[in-house]
Structures are given as C-alpha cells and as structure tokens.
C-alpha cells in the first residue's frame, strides 16, 4: 500500500481471502520485458534499451523514495502496460522487497555482512554476492546488468554448470568479479561503463543521483536521434499483442 499512486506501480484493486487462497487483484498488464526480449530474438536495439533504462531507473527511484529496496531487479519483474499505456513500464513482484529506511526518522538499516544471496544471481550486484546487506546501490547495479543483457543478448556468466545451487552461485560470482565492466560493455557506448562505475562508487548508505544516471542515457538517446520518443516501445508491444 505504501507504493500506491506512483507511476508504473500497478493499482491494487482488492486483496483478501477466497476459500483456501490468499488473493490480490491488480491492473491487467501486458508482456514482461523478458517476454518482449524473447519475441525479439533475444536482442533489443540501443534505442529500445535507452527508452527502457529511463523508465526503469525512474521506477527504482520511486521505490527508494518510499523507503523500499526491490532486491530482485530482473526482466521478468518489469511489465509493459496495455492500451493507452502500452509504452509505460511497470515494476512488479515485491516479494523480496525490504524497507531500508524509516520514512519518519530517515534512519538507514545497518551495514551487515555474511548475508545469504537474495534475488536472482544472474543480475545480483557484486556486493550481494559477497554477502553484504543490500542498499540502494545494489538495485541500480542489478539494473545495469539487465540493460547489458538486453543489448548484448546474454551475460558472460550465463550457462555455467555446477553440481549444486551454491556452487553455481559461486561460479557466477567469480565470473562476474573477474569481468571488468570495460569488457562487459565493450563495443557499446561508454555511458554504460560510466553507469557501472558510478553505481559501484556508492557507499552503503549513499543516496544515488538518479537524475545523473537518467541524464547519461537521455543524452545518449538524443545523440542517437529519434522522431518519437515512445514509438518504438509502443509499436513493439502492439505488434506482439496482436501476433502471438
């Protein structure tokens, strides 16, 4: 309820118990970004990624402004709207969300170590792999991995084989830490490297400069040039909804 009213936050219609089930009714939304990614042969254009980045950063910023971390930033948890809102990105699934700050006192949760990995290993921040308590910086680093996944088609630590889940997490962590962001973002605009360097420079309690991050990608978007800001996203969603 604390998130209600924000742009890109699904409206909660009703919740309660129906027979044996706990029920929550929200807005009917369109495909997830993972769905769209698959429909597009697992590759988004740079312009599409930049359009998504602007809205996704804004959604994370809003959650943080309400005192919550998402802690499971991944393509499956961002959905497109329908109809007149077909170009609007929504953030869903707050099952792992955590309050990081008291809205009255503004007191931040304490720094801790030896935490188990919470979220999806593929997109988890380096500090999350290291067992550090998550804070705002980690949601944003995870978002950076999502953007690189979209533009590259895959991430270097995908498809690693291991005997157990823990061994797989360890392999992902090792590969992630051994892959410099300059290598991860090679052949793509330097703004992506700047994004990661900024996120990783933040201290545990630091408030991110969301405007700076959005401006990075907005300026790149302008340099790339386009006629209609949301035309590519809206066309993409409408095409998929009527052809699958």
Catalytic residue among 18, 72, 170, 206: 72
Q: Of how many residues is the chain composed? A: 244
**Integer-rounded Cα radius of gyration of the chain:** 18
Catalytic status, residue 72: yes
List active site positions.
72
């Amino acid at each position: 309820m604390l998130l209600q009213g924000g742009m890109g936050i699904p409206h909660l219609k009703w919740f309660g118990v129906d027979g044996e089930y706990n029920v929550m009714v929200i807005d009917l939304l369109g495909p997830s970004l993972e769905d769209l990614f698959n429909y597009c042969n697992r590759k988004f254009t740079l312009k599409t990624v930049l359009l998504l980045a602007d809205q996704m950063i804004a959604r994370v910023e809003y959650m943080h402004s309400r005192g919550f971390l998402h802690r499971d930033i991944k393509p499956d948890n961002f959905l497109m709207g329908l109809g007149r809102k077909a170009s609007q990105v929504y953030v869903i699934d707050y099952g792992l969300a955590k309050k990081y700050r008291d809205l009255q006192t503004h007191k931040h949760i304490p720094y801790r170590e030896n935490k188990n990995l919470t979220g999806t290993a593929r997109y988890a921040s380096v500090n999350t792999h290291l067992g550090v308590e998550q804070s705002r910086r980690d949601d944003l680093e995870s978002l950076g991995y999502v953007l690189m996944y979209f533009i590259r088609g895959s991430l270097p630590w995908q498809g690693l084989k291991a005997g157990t889940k823990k061994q797989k997490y360890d392999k992902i962590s090792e590969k992630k830490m051994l892959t410099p962001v300059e290598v991860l973002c090679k052949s793509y605009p330097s703004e992506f490297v700047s994004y990661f360097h900024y996120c990783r420079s933040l201290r545990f309690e630091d408030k991110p400069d969301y405007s700076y991050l959005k401006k990075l990608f907005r300026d790149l978007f302008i340099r790339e040039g386009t006629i209609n800001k949301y035309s590519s996203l809206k066309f993409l969603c409408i095409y998929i909804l009527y052809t699958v």
